[in-house]
């Protein structure tokens, strides 16, 4: 709704783990909840790539699909740090990408719709193709986005890249 009461602020984390252009977009609601999505500059969204597989099983003992929260305080949700992997996406050209949490917080849900319809991720990466919903700790509500880029800073990064003509 277009008003000041509910809003999603846009933040970005670029070149995750030093990998060029692997940018994520973190939308934070005024109630502190964060939605992790691919940024429009992420390689998966470039050059007409198609997705072969999305895997939420990030290790032998851990699948993000098994994440179960209960009650108002969301007990049971896996606690993530900035570099916790959310999922691994394999494209049809065999390129593999890991999507990361980017922020500290409790994992509330991962998007299961993209498992059945990976095109959602390609067509609507900022809405229906979201990756995960994370709830930061109350005390960290504001600090959790401090290390991230604002929309303006992100745009500057993109501009610089275009000038240097880095392939993604």
Binding site for another protein (CB under 8 A): 1-3, 5-6, 29, 31-33, 35, 69-72, 74, 108-109, 111, 113, 120, 124, 127-128, 130, 133, 135
Distance in angstroms (rounded) separating the CA atoms of residues 147 and 13: 8
Which of residues 97 and 130 has its CB atom nearest to another protein in the complex?
130
What burial letters (b/e) apply to 64-93, b meaning 16+ CB within 10 Å? beebebeeeeeeebbebeeebbbbebebee
Distance in angstroms (rounded) separating the CA atoms of residues 38 and 117: 16
Distance in angstroms (rounded) separating the CA atoms of residues 158 and 79: 31
Which of residues 9 and 157 has its CB atom nearest to another protein in the complex?
9
**Shortest approach of another protein to residue 71 CB, angstroms?**
5
Cβ atoms of 166 and 157 closer than 8 Å = no
Which of residues 84 and 121 has its CB atom nearest to another protein in the complex?
121
Which of residues 43 and 129 has its CB atom nearest to another protein in the complex?
129
Give me the residue label for tokens 């394999």: 90
**Shortest approach of another protein to residue 20 CB, angstroms?**
28
107 φ, ψ to 5°? Answer: -70, 120
For 59, other C-beta atoms within 10 Å of its C-beta total 7
**Shortest approach of another protein to residue 154 CB, angstroms?**
20
**Shortest approach of another protein to residue 123 CB, angstroms?**
11
Which of residues 5 and 164 has its CB atom nearest to another protein in the complex?
5
**Shortest approach of another protein to residue 70 CB, angstroms?**
7
């Amino acid at each position: 709704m277009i008003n000041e009461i509910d809003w999603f602020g846009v933040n970005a984390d670029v070149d995750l783990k030093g990998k060029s252009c692997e940018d994520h977009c973190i939308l934070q609601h005024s109630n502190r909840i964060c939605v992790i999505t691919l940024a429009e500059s992420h390689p998966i969204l470039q050059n007409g790539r198609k997705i072969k597989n999305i895997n939420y099983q990030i290790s032998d003992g851990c699948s993000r699909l098994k994440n179960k929260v209960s009650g108002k305080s969301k007990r049971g949700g896996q606690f993530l740090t900035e570099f916790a992997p959310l999922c691994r996406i394999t494209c049809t050209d065999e390129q593999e990408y890991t999507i990361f949490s980017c922020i500290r917080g409790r994992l509330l849900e991962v998007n299961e719709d993209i498992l059945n319809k990976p095109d959602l991720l390609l067509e609507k990466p900022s809405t229906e193709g979201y990756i995960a919903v994370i709830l930061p700790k109350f005390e960290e509500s504001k600090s959790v986005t401090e290390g991230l880029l604002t929309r303006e800073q992100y745009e500057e990064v993109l501009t610089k890249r275009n000038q240097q003509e880095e392939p993604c």
